[in-house]
Amino acid sequence: MSILNIFKRNKKSETDAPINGQDIMGQEWVYSDEVKKHFFEPQNFTAQTPEDYNGLGLVGSPACGDMMKVWIKVDPETDVIKDFKWQTFGCASAIASTSVLSVMVLENGGMKIDQALKITPIDIIKRLSGLPDRKIHCSVLGDKALAAAINDYFKKTKQESRIKDKSIRVIDKKLNITEKDIEEAVKQGAKTVAEVQAKTKVGTGDPNCLPEVEELVRYYAEKYHT
């Protein structure tokens, strides 16, 4: 199935049901107007691989949920990202998060790489005027896909010394979730493994990492919440 058909199928499945509602636990999901705008009219989406790009990032897994693919075109003379194209397999929040991220990177003529690397999931969520708690992991994937594309550009242009967080320990190797991601989830209020999973999906790609996740959650919960 082509990514365009996947996108159409996801869009149809989301619009067949109310875009605001409740999950099976009875928790209410409310999507902002900004999320709806980027879901129904996604910006910089492409159905085909761009012909001209010099950075590619791919994160997530369709077997575990959302997957995002990002292509960037960097001007080597100015270090500015001049183009940002993407595809995603996922829900309304995943589509909206990637769409708004592309807008953020390209507005005002494009961001310099160092500035783009400072974009956080919180920045994306703010631009979307919020996301339901159970959908925050979608903005985390957007942040990771962009960083992966930039790192790919660094590798292709022999700038390995600029690769972001290359020394950070990867906990879930299937979804490329790091210890830093777990720490950030706890800093934002998660106090249990289940709450960290709701924010990051850690362990859904690689269940064997869950004992280590449990230890990290306990450590950071004591550090930030006691």
By annotation, the residues acting in catalysis are 64, 138
Q: Which residue, among 91, 62, 71, 89, has the nearest Cα to 174 in the 3D structure?
A: 62
Burial 58-68 (b: 16+ CB within 10 A, else e): bbbbeeebbbb
Give burial (CB, 10 Å; 0-12/13-18/19+) of 76.
Answer: exposed
- Whole-number Å distance between alpha carbons of 12 and 42: 14
- Whole-number Å distance between alpha carbons of 136 and 114: 24
User: Is residue 103 a contact partner of residue 86, using CB atoms and an 8 Å limit?
Assistant: no
Q: DSSP label at 205? A: S
Structure tokens at 124: 């994306």
Instruction: Specify the pairing of strand 177-178 against strand 170-172.
Output: antiparallel
- Whole-number Å distance between alpha carbons of 70 and 143: 10
